[in-house]
Amino acid sequence: MVVDLVTSFPLPRSLRCAPMARQVATIPSVKISNLFKSGVLAVYVGNSFDLQAQFTPPPLLTGKFEYEAMPVLSAKEILRPEYSKGLYFTVRDQVPTNSGWNQYTIESEFGVYEVSGNMMLVRCVAEISAMGFMKAMSENKEFMNAVEESAKVPLGVAKNLVTNPGDTLGSVPKGIWGFLNEAGQSVSDTVDGRKGHATEDGFLTSISGFSKVKRDLALRLGVDPYSTNMAFQKALSKAARPIFLGKIGMQAGMSCVVGPAGKALFGLNMTAKLQNSLRDLDPVSLRVKNYEMLEKMDISKADADKFLNNLVLRPSTQTVIVSSLAELGKIPGRDDFIREAGGSDSELMAFSYQYTAEMMAKLNQESPITSIVHTEHLTVCQNKNGTMLIPLEWDYAEWSPLVEEFLPAVKGLKMPTPATEYSLIITGMASPTTTEALTVAHMKLTTQGLPGPLK
C-alpha cells in the first residue's frame, strides 16, 4: 500500500497553511526521512524544543498495525444534516483528506466554495445561510418598503459611506489581505497609524453608527462580522442600511423572514461576552482593549504590537486568542504563543492559532493548565495533574508511518515537570486503527475537541 507521508499528517503551521501547501511539490525542501531522527522532530516541532536528557524514544509499533491510505469520506456520513445540505447549499458527498484537513466543495445559490477543514466548513455554511436569510429578508414586502423609504433620505456623508465600495466592510478582495482598499488607498487607524484589517470600516463609517449595525446583524446571523466573504459583506451592507436609517427595527427586519429561510446556522463558538465586545466596540477600541489585556499578561510591547498589527489576524481572531489565553491565568508560555501567532502569514494559519487557544481554554476548565511550551510549529501544554496535552486542528487521523513516529518523539519533549500522562486532542475524528494504536501507545485521544460539523 502506498501511503503519502506528507499529506497523511497535519503539516507544520508554516507549511500546511501556506498557499498551496497541500501540494507536495511546493515543499521540496522537506525530507520526510529527516523529519524524525533519534526522537528529534527535525521539521515538525523544530530544534527549539528542549528534549529530555539522553532521551531514547520508545520502540515503534511497526508491524502491529497496518498503515492506512488517506480516505475519501462521505459528507452524508460524517456531517450533521444541517451542515450537509441546506435551503441554499449542498456539500458534495466526496470529501478527500489532505494535510490534516477534510476538503469540502460547497455548491450554493451564491457560487461554488472550496474550503479546507471542518472549522472552515462551519464558517462558510453559516455565511451562505446568512446570505440566504438576508436575500429572503430583502424580498419581504415590509422590508422592501423600508428599503424604498431609506432610498429617499438624503444622507450626505453617510450616503457616501454606505454606498462607496472602497469604505464598506469587507471591500478588499480576499487575496490582497487588507493592505489596500479597492481604490488603492490605505485604511488608516486613528490611534497610532496602524493600517486596518481588510474588513474594518473607515473611520467616518464607524463613527456614523453604520458599522455597529452591520456588526450586530452579522452576529445575530451567527457570522463573524469581519468575514472576508465579499458576497456576504455586500449583502450585509444592503440589509443594514434601512435598519441604520431607522426605517425598520433590527428585530422587526429579522422577523420578516419565516420558515426554513429564517433558520440561521451559527458559525461562531463565542461566549455572549465576546460577542458583545465584537458588536459594541469598533476595531480601534477592540484593539485598545486587547492591548490592555496583553499588557496584563506581561506580553512585551514588541510582541503585542506585532500581534495586533498583523493584518492577517482579523480583529475577531485577535480577540478570541487574547480572551482564551487570559482564561489560563498567569502561566508561562503565553508570551511565546502570542509571538508565534503574531507571525501568521495566512488566514488559515491565524485560524489554527485561534482554534488551539480555544481548545486550551476549554481544557483549562476541565483541569487547570499550568504551562505552555510552544515552538514555531507546535503547541503543547501541561495541566496541574502533569498530563501533557497536545491540541491539534486535525480533521481525520488515519494511521501512517509519520503518525507512528510522532508519538514517541512528542513524548520526548521536556516539560516543566515530567509528564504523568499523554493526551492528544483533535478537532476532528480518527480511524479505528489510529484509535487502537494510540491506546497501545498510552496516548489518550479526544476527538471533536471543539464544536464542529461532525456527527
Interval 195-238: pLDDT, tens: 556 555 554 444 458 889 999 999 999 999 999 998 999 999 98
Of 59 and 96, the one with more pLDDT: 96
pLDDT at 405 (0 to 100): 85
Percent share of the chain, pLDDT over 90: 53
Return d(Cα 99, Cα 5) in angstroms, integer.
10
The mean predicted confidence, pLDDT, of the chain is: 77
Average pLDDT over residues 374-387: 87
Please determine, for residue 160, whether its predicted confidence score (pLDDT) is greater than 90.
no
The three-point CA angle 130-321-237 to 5° equals 30
Of 245 and 382, the one with more pLDDT: 382
- Of the listed ranges 52-61, 164-173, 311-320, the one predicted with least confidence: 164-173
Return d(Cα 224, Cα 240) in angstroms, integer.
15
Report the candidate in 430, 427, 446 with the shortest Cα–Cα distance to residue 398. 430
pLDDT band of residue 17 (cuts 50, 70, 90) is: very low
- Tell me the β-bridge partners of 74: 94
Please determine, for residue 49, whether its predicted confidence score (pLDDT) is greater than 60.
no
Task: For 133-144, write each residue's pLDDT tens digit.
Answer: 998 888 877 767
pLDDT band of residue 248 (cuts 50, 70, 90) is: confident
pLDDT at 186 (0 to 100): 33
Please determine, for residue 77, whether its predicted confidence score (pLDDT) is greater than 90.
yes
Please determine, for residue 102, whether its predicted confidence score (pLDDT) is greater than 90.
yes
- Of the listed ranges 91-100, 172-181, 262-271, the one predicted with least confidence: 172-181
pLDDT at 50 (0 to 100): 42
pLDDT at 7 (0 to 100): 52
Of 393 and 21, the one with more pLDDT: 393
pLDDT band of residue 377 (cuts 50, 70, 90) is: confident
pLDDT band of residue 267 (cuts 50, 70, 90) is: low
pLDDT at 244 (0 to 100): 82
Average pLDDT over residues 68-88: 95
Phi-psi region of 265 (alpha: psi -120 to 50; beta: other; left: phi over 0): beta
pLDDT at 112 (0 to 100): 96
Task: Give the number of residues written for the chain.
Answer: 455
> Which residues have a Cβ under 8 Å from the Cβ of 207 and sit 6 or more positions away?
282
Average pLDDT over residues 352-357: 94
Please determine, for residue 294, whether its predicted confidence score (pLDDT) is greater than 80.
yes
Residue 241: all three cell numbers together = 442600511
pLDDT band of residue 34 (cuts 50, 70, 90) is: very low
Please determine, for residue 29, whether its predicted confidence score (pLDDT) is greater than 60.
no
pLDDT at 449 (0 to 100): 96
- Of the listed ranges 7-21, 237-251, 354-368, the one predicted with least confidence: 7-21
Please determine, for residue 436, whether its predicted confidence score (pLDDT) is greater than 80.
yes
Residue 393: all three cell numbers together = 486542528
Report the candidate in 97, 38, 104 with the shortest Cα–Cα distance to residue 68. 97
Burial string for 301-331 (b: 16+ CB within 10 Å, else e) reads: eebbbbbbebbbbbbbbbbbbbbbbbebeeb
Helices (H), 271-399: 272-280, 283-296, 301-309, 315-327, 334-341, 347-366
Residue 57: all three cell numbers together = 524514544
Contact 338, 294 (CB under 8 A): yes
The three-point CA angle 77-79-80 to 5° equals 110
Return d(Cα 397, Cα 10) in angstroms, integer.
9
Of 242 and 417, the one with more pLDDT: 417
> Which residues have a Cβ under 8 Å from the Cβ of 173 and sit 6 or more positions away?
182, 230
pLDDT band of residue 257 (cuts 50, 70, 90) is: low
